[in-house]
Structure 1
Amino acid sequence: MVGPAASTSDAAGSSRADLVARLRESGMITTAAVEEAVLAVRREHFMPAGTPLEVAYGVDNSVVTKRDEHGVAISSVSAAYIQAQMLEQASLRPGMRVLEVGSGGLNAAMIAEIVGEKGHVLSVDIDAEVVDRAGRLLDEAGYGNRVRVLATDAGAGLLGEDPFNAIIVTVGAWDIAPAWLEQLAPDGVLVVPLIMNGVTRTICFRRDGDHLVSTSMAVAGFVSMQGAGQHAERVFLLPDSTGKQVKLRFDSTIPDDVNLLDGVLGTERTDVWSGASIRHGVSFASLHLWLAWYMPGFCLLAADEGTAVASERGRWFPFGVVRGAAFAYLVVRPDLDGAGVEFGARAYGSDGKLAAAALCEQIRAWDREGRGTEPEFGYWPVGVDRSGIPPEAAVLDKHHGSVTISWPALD
């Protein structure tokens, strides 16, 4: 007779095998080292009590482990596909020294599996409660002597630590902390979810002289960093006649004329279509990145239930632009004889045609020059010689340096 504990263990083992098969099939796992690590670590052990196995082993399920007093997620177990992607990006090998910024336990355990007994894993987090939980779970899972956990702000530096072969950041970072670069070995890699004008991409960087260059990029989302690396968004609220709101979220500076949007939701709607289409099932995540980099006045949208904008869910995406006395955002309509959609812009405000036309102009530019390609990124710390920045690159200034992006089609 098989008892409940054995049945649960068998089910979890089967779930792990199924998860690996799906990650392999989707290309998120490409190496034996990552496959073996995902198979070895009991994912369910690091989840909140009562988390169903189907949630723990879902390919794209992110599970919140802590919220702040406002209900905002401040710690979570990342989705399995994101963890696998980042481990593949880091190209870890046995014997490596690895720093994980942002603790939880699960990812550190998988890193420990890959670097082996001769490797060294340090997992740090600014939240002592998160660190205590991660340390306890790692001990219970048998990794207490293979992973060291520490409550500290990694952005402030880690005294007494030798350089790391890899630094893996598991929280959304608006900038790259100088301390990370100081603690990275000369041939080391930094894998970081970098927030660029509100849009996040997980980028693997290597050194190239005095700056960093990207070796890979992946789409992902993370809870935002706390501590010295925290960066607050600017939010502008647009109320409708019922008091419900559309929120425009700006990564840095709100346009000077944003006050012209007062009462904008009470104006007539304007639609403009770009002529650029895409088939169902084909990713257009590169469009989001393109707009974030090349669209002045770019913002992210959120809409309260009950607003006219929210009622159109499924036909719009939260990427917009402010132009004069109007804002516009990305929308789609059926195209390609039902096999795809056409991109367009929907606007509110007296300058609606101007805002919508500006957004459609960038959609068409992406369609011509950025579609189907993967950009390359660079990071140039403050104080280094910037003459090597490619002339075709766009530049986004941060506190500690500048990020650049170059699209192959623009070379």
Structure 2
Amino acid sequence: MTTHRTNSPGFDDATAESNRAPEALRSSMVEGIAARHEQLGRAMPTAVEAALRTVPRHVFAPGVELEAAYADDSLVTKKNERGVNISSVSAPTIIAGMLGQLDVQPGHRVLEIGSGGYNAALLAELVGPDGAVTTMDIDPEVVDRARTCLDRAGYDHVRTLRADGEFGAAEFSPFDRIIATVGAWDIPPAWREQIVDGGRMVAPLRTKGLTRSWALQRCGDHLVSRSHLMCGFVPMQGAGEHRGRAVPLYGDDREQVGLWVDEDQPIDAAALASAMAGPRAETWSGVVVDKGEFFADQDLWLVTLPEFCVLTAQQEAIDQGVVSPSWRLGTPALVEGGTVAYRARLRPADPETGQGPYEFGAYAHGPDAPELADRLAEQIRIWDRDHRAGPEPVLNVFPAGTPDAELPQGCVLDKRHSRIVLSWSEYTE
């Protein structure tokens, strides 16, 4: 279904050329997304590709240069008084991946939580004339902006709501699909209750600082994952807001290196900051990875450890040699007392040539640095031996209060509304 407005007769050549430019940029954007899907061993669904080729993304990015509107990057649309991003149009590759996870079919009723307008327009293309799309946000400014852009692009049939997404949109339920485009710490009961049995939701779920987009299918009273993707999103506001805790460790403002931990995780910040100024221990695992090989599931294995948190570092600290993490903005780490260990920047298995494959290792600071580095390296070996070539991790989401005896085996993460179980085998009743 193509619903956006096109040129009308009588436009001069210059106007026609200016309207062809977005189409060329959009085509290039889609080809790039398809290539990245192929690199990751995934195929972009035909319907998602068609929607991306149809919806004029630049209309949802007023004031942004055309090239930037069609770049594979997120577009920040609002910041709070502290300069923190609180609303954005997500990067096209992330959008395409999540829409693929959602598996929208013609005629579906879809709820989007977190509104920017562009994703809602793509959903409108996917559900077709017999479906219905509702997009909601807690921020009236964001909703008004989405409404204006949707109308301008020709998607006036998409419903916009200003309300707290924690509670869904019961008056328009049940939904066949629900998608959250904001980072959630938990799965609210309303989302599960407002989706049909067998329906699917996609949500960027954050656990111990690690975010994954999980496709979750409703199976009676619980949800079970069907796929997951790496992603990053601005956090939910309102009743579902849940902030983690940033623990600064190094720098003049002690923010050049830091940890991101759950609010209730015990951390001795002073001892860890002192440890960062001391010597570094290292252990190498013997586990290697080829250049470009996907290994993000290793992070999900490490998140099951009680000591898990996430290390972040500014480039300045890396250049100074203070830390050398595998990823600057989210490297798996372990904390125990006054000691911190983190996954090291991968090193070439052949140091003479500097070529791959590349080996995983661990760096650590603190009084028990050698032992904690060894523990992290051993967990990488366990992942390599038991899970790397096996089934993908599975997430089961049960209501809070579900007895232990009714949960599958795995790592249990208790949240406000849910008992989440991360395992490597699907739950069957």
Provide TM-score, normalisation by structure 2: 0.88
Matches within 5 A, 1:5-404: 5-25=15-35, 26-27=37-38, 30-53=44-67, 55-59=68-72, 61-144=73-156, 146-239=157-250, 245-255=256-266, 257=268, 259-293=270-304, 295-304=305-314, 306-307=316-317, 311=321, 316-317=326-327, 318-331=331-344, 332-336=346-350, 338-373=355-390, 374-384=392-402, 386-391=404-409, 393-404=410-421
In structure 1, what is the Cα distance between the partners aligned to 2:255 and 2:316? 7
Aligned counterpart, 2:6? none
**Contact kept in structure 1, 2:44 and 2:96, CA below 8 Å:** no
**Contact kept in structure 2, 1:329 and 1:356, CA below 8 Å:** yes
- Partner amino acid, structure 2, of 1:322: V
- Partner amino acid, structure 2, of 1:78: S
**Contact kept in structure 2, 1:67 and 1:73, CA below 8 Å:** yes
**Contact kept in structure 1, 2:44 and 2:97, CA below 8 Å:** no
Tell me how far 1:305 sits from its aligned partner.
5.3
Tell me how far 1:265 sits from its aligned partner.
2.1
Are the structure 2 counterparts of residues 69 and 29 from structure 1 closer, same or farther at C-alpha, using a change threshold of 3 Å?
A: farther
SS at match of 2:233: coil
SS at match of 1:207: strand
In structure 2, what is the Cα distance between the partners aligned to 1:29 and 1:71? 37
* Structure 2: segments with no counterpart, 5+ residues: 1-10
- Partner amino acid, structure 2, of 1:99: L
RMSD: 2.4
Tell me how far 1:2 sits from its aligned partner.
6.7
Are the structure 2 counterparts of residues 33 and 310 from structure 1 closer, same or farther at C-alpha, using a change threshold of 3 Å?
A: farther
Question: What do the CA deviations read for 1:303-331 (whole angstroms, capped 9, x no partner)?
Answer: 34543676467753322111232111111
**Contact kept in structure 2, 1:64 and 1:75, CA below 8 Å:** yes
Question: What do the CA deviations read for 1:355-389 (whole angstroms, capped 9, x no partner)?
Answer: 21121111111111121442111101124455343
**Contact kept in structure 1, 2:248 and 2:269, CA below 8 Å:** no
**Contact kept in structure 2, 1:131 and 1:151, CA below 8 Å:** yes
Question: What do the CA deviations read for 1:187-213 (whole angstroms, capped 9, x no partner)?
Answer: 321111111221111111112222111
Q: Percent identity over the alignment?
A: 42
- Partner amino acid, structure 2, of 1:94: P
- Partner amino acid, structure 2, of 1:37: A
> Could you tell which deviates more after superposition, 37-46 or 103-112?
37-46
- Partner amino acid, structure 1, of 2:300: L
SS at match of 1:339: strand
SS at match of 1:50: coil
- Partner amino acid, structure 1, of 2:278: T
**Contact kept in structure 2, 1:210 and 1:384, CA below 8 Å:** no
In structure 1, what is the Cα distance between the partners aligned to 2:258 and 2:268? 16
In structure 2, what is the Cα distance between the partners aligned to 1:2 and 1:311? 59
Are the structure 2 counterparts of residues 252 and 164 from structure 1 closer, same or farther at C-alpha, using a change threshold of 3 Å?
A: same
> Could you tell which deviates more after superposition, 98-107 or 40-49?
40-49
In structure 1, what is the Cα distance between the partners aligned to 2:267 and 2:126? 50
Are the structure 2 counterparts of residues 91 and 358 from structure 1 closer, same or farther at C-alpha, using a change threshold of 3 Å?
A: same
**Contact kept in structure 2, 1:194 and 1:200, CA below 8 Å:** yes
Are the structure 2 counterparts of residues 66 and 19 from structure 1 closer, same or farther at C-alpha, using a change threshold of 3 Å?
A: same
Tell me how far 1:52 sits from its aligned partner.
3.5
In structure 2, what is the Cα distance between the partners aligned to 1:147 and 1:313? 48
Tell me how far 1:179 sits from its aligned partner.
1.1
- Partner amino acid, structure 2, of 1:5: T
In structure 2, what is the Cα distance between the partners aligned to 1:104 and 1:236? 31
**Contact kept in structure 2, 1:269 and 1:352, CA below 8 Å:** yes
In structure 2, what is the Cα distance between the partners aligned to 1:208 and 1:381? 12
